[in-house]
């Protein structure tokens, strides 16, 4: 089924619109893409329903700091909450006012509409204010989730990456995730079970990273939009059901031929705050920039790094260390970490052969308001990377202004490249 909610994206997939004169789409359709799009239209999608019917417990979460791997222990599966096809969150705006991040409000609205009734539990983190408030509403308003056994449990996440913080984080995961899952849902939380979950998590991470590697090619054989679909279904669907499909996609990708003449004008890294909307990535690509790397909440970098269990570590030690050390979240306050974040972005530009960075920030996200401002300044000044800095809403509605910004950015980067080629300036 081709979803009808977004005419632009369907047309683009069918190669009808947004082609420059004399060009055509040569890359054949990638396997499972339409299925993935369908799955992303609902939080309570077909695979979630199937897993529930098979007796598994659905565990919601919103943030990378709630380790996905621990929510995929035997008997349960993780669903990173999204509110696709959100319109105006009117009821949520009563509870959370119109001056908070729309991601939090859209989730609240979806919960009020009954869209998260399939959840058995919400594993919450107080990592950014508004998602925290949304999750507190799940605690305060038991009628919000139509499931008498539903519960919401919070974990405290540190602001640093030192040994103290790792131990702190580990204690929290043990107490507020594992013990709770065991006590309330009867989940096996033994070291062996966590090790097995890590293996399975690593497998899905490997597959996604392998798919993502094709973005590093001089002429990438996967678009940013297609990759975003793969990454998002892995977050929104039970792993054991989505993994075979992702493997098929990977196999298909191995033989996919790129366009002889690329249909993009520049390559960019997309970084920033929460973005679970593949059509936002597509919007950028429609303007002529290929998104080759995704460093944002819900993105794969560095979220799809493999978890390594080092000698002498328990499985939980490894999980705590991995999620804290690998995160590039803006809430880390140590001086060297703050500065390293810029270097990480600059390295992504090199590694993925990008021409620039687009820094996006969800309106009302305070962390990224500041980080975007600093990135815009520092990446340009210290690393010489062209930066396009934009503010966006959760729903991808008013795209006209953004399209103009992206087009102008692409032209400026092209111009710069031309000048460099000609030795001007």
Partner 1 sequence: MAEERMVKMSLAEKLGYRKGDLKNFVKYIADDPKQACKDFIYGKEHERRNIGDLYIQPTGLYRHREWRGLKDTLYYFNVIWCYNYGMMVADILSAEKPLRFFQGIWRYRWLGQTYIPVLHWFDRGLEGLRGPALRASAWHYRGMVHATIEQFMRMFARDIRFNGKETELWRKTVLHNETVSGSIFYPFRDGGLVDIPLEMIPYFVTCHVNSNTVLHYIDAIQTLGLPADPCPMCQAEAGVGIMDDYPDSAPCIVTSNEACDASVATSIIQDWFLNRPLYAMPQPMRYDDPLVQKRCQEEIEGAWKFVEEQTGVPFSWESFKKYAELQNEQLYFEREKWDVAARTNNYPINGVAQALYRIYYSQYGWNETWQLLDSRVRKIMENCVANQIDTFPKTRHRVIAWSCAPLYYSNWCTWAYNCWGLNVVINMDSLMFDKDIRTDTYEHALEDLGWYNELAPMRAMAVGGHEHIFKLWDYMEQFNCDMVAMYDQLQCKGMQGIKGMFEDEFRRRGIHAFWLPHALPDKRTVSRKEIRDGISGYMINVMHEEPLDPSLLDFDDDLTW
- Given the rule CB under 8 A, which residues bind partner 1? 94-97, 99-101, 104, 126, 128-130, 132-134, 136-137, 139-140, 154-160, 164-165, 167-168, 171-172, 175, 330-331, 333-335, 338-339, 361, 363-367, 369-374, 376-378, 389, 391
CB closer to partner 1, 95 vs 151: 95
CB closer to partner 1, 165 vs 202: 165
Shortest Å distance, C-beta 140 to partner 1? 6
**Number of neighbouring beta carbons within 10 Å of residue 29:** 14
CB closer to partner 1, 182 vs 363: 363
Shortest Å distance, C-beta 169 to partner 1? 9
Token pair for residue 26? 């040569």
Query: Alpha-carbon distance 162 to 178, whole Å?
Result: 22
CB closer to partner 1, 24 vs 94: 94
CB closer to partner 1, 156 vs 248: 156
Query: Alpha-carbon distance 301 to 408, whole Å?
Result: 26
Query: Alpha-carbon distance 141 to 257, whole Å?
Result: 52
Shortest Å distance, C-beta 175 to partner 1? 6
Shortest Å distance, C-beta 123 to partner 1? 13
Shortest Å distance, C-beta 294 to partner 1? 22
Please state, in angstroms and as integers, the Cα–Cα distance from residue 401 to each residue in 48, 284, 396, following that order. 36, 12, 11
The alpha carbon dihedral of 251, 252, 257, 262 has a sign of negative
Shortest Å distance, C-beta 288 to partner 1? 24
- CA angle 72-241-83, nearest 5°? 75
Shortest Å distance, C-beta 375 to partner 1? 10
Query: Alpha-carbon distance 174 to 63, whole Å?
Result: 17
Query: Alpha-carbon distance 51 to 279, whole Å?
Result: 27
The alpha carbon dihedral of 156, 369, 344, 405 has a sign of positive
CB closer to partner 1, 14 vs 377: 377
CB closer to partner 1, 10 vs 129: 129
Long-range contact pairs involving 141-144 (C-beta distance under 8 Å, separation at least 24): 144/111, 144/112, 144/116
CB closer to partner 1, 263 vs 371: 371
Instruction: List the beta strands (DSSP E) in 326-411.
Output: 356-362, 387-392
Token pair for residue 344? 């990480």
Shortest Å distance, C-beta 281 to partner 1? 22
The phi and psi torsions of 161 (rounded to 5 degrees) equal -115, 15
């Amino acid at each position: 089924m081709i979803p009808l909610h977004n005419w632009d994206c369907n047309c683009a997939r069918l190669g009808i619109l947004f082609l420059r004169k004399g060009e055509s789409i040569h890359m054949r359709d990638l396997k499972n893409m339409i299925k993935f799009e369908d799955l992303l239209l609902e939080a309570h999608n077909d695979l979630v329903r199937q897993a529930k019917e098979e007796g598994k417990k659905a565990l919601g979460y919103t943030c990378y700091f709630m380790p996905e791997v621990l929510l995929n222990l035997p008997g349960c599966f993780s669903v990173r909450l999204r509110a696709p096809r959100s319109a105006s969150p009117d009821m949520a705006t009563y509870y959370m006012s119109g001056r908070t991040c729309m991601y939090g409000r859209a989730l609240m609205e979806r919960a009020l509409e009954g869209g998260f009734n399939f959840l058995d539990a919400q594993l919450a983190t107080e990592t950014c204010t508004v998602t925290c408030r949304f999750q507190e509403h799940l605690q305060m308003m038991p009628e919000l989730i139509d499931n008498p056994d539903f519960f919401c449990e919070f974990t405290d996440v540190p602001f640093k990456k030192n040994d103290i913080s790792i131990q702190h984080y580990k204690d929290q995961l043990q107490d507020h995730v594992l013990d709770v899952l065991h006590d309330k849902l009867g989940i096996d939380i033994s070291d062996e079970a966590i090790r097995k979950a890590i293996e399975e998590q690593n497998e899905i991470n490997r597959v996604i990273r392998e798919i993502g590697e094709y973005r590093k090619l001089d002429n990438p054989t996967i678009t940013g939009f297609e990759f975003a679909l793969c990454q998002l279904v892995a977050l929104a669907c039970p792993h054991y059901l989505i993994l075979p499909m992702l493997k098929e996609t990977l196999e298909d990708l191995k033989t996919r031929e790129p366009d002889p003449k690329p249909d993009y004008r520049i390559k960019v890294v997309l970084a920033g705050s929460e973005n679970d909307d593949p059509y936002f990535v597509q919007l950028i690509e429609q303007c002529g920039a290929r998104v080759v790397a995704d460093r944002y909440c819900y993105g794969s970098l560095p979220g799809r790094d493999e978890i390594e269990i080092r000698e002498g570590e328990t499985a939980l030690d490894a999980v705590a260390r991995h999620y804290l050390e690998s995160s590039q979240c803006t809430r880390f306050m140590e001086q060297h970490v703050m500065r390293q974040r810029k270097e990480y972005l600059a390295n992504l530009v090199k590694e993925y052969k990008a021409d620039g960075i687009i820094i996006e920030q969800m309106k009302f996200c305070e962390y990224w308001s500041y980080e975007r401002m600093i990135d815009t300044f520092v990446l340009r000044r210290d690393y010489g990377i062209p930066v396009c800095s934009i503010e966006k809403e959760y729903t991808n509605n008013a795209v006209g202004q953004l399209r103009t910004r992206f087009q102008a950015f692409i032209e400026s980067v092209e111009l710069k490249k031309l000048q460099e080629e000609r030795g001007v300036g």
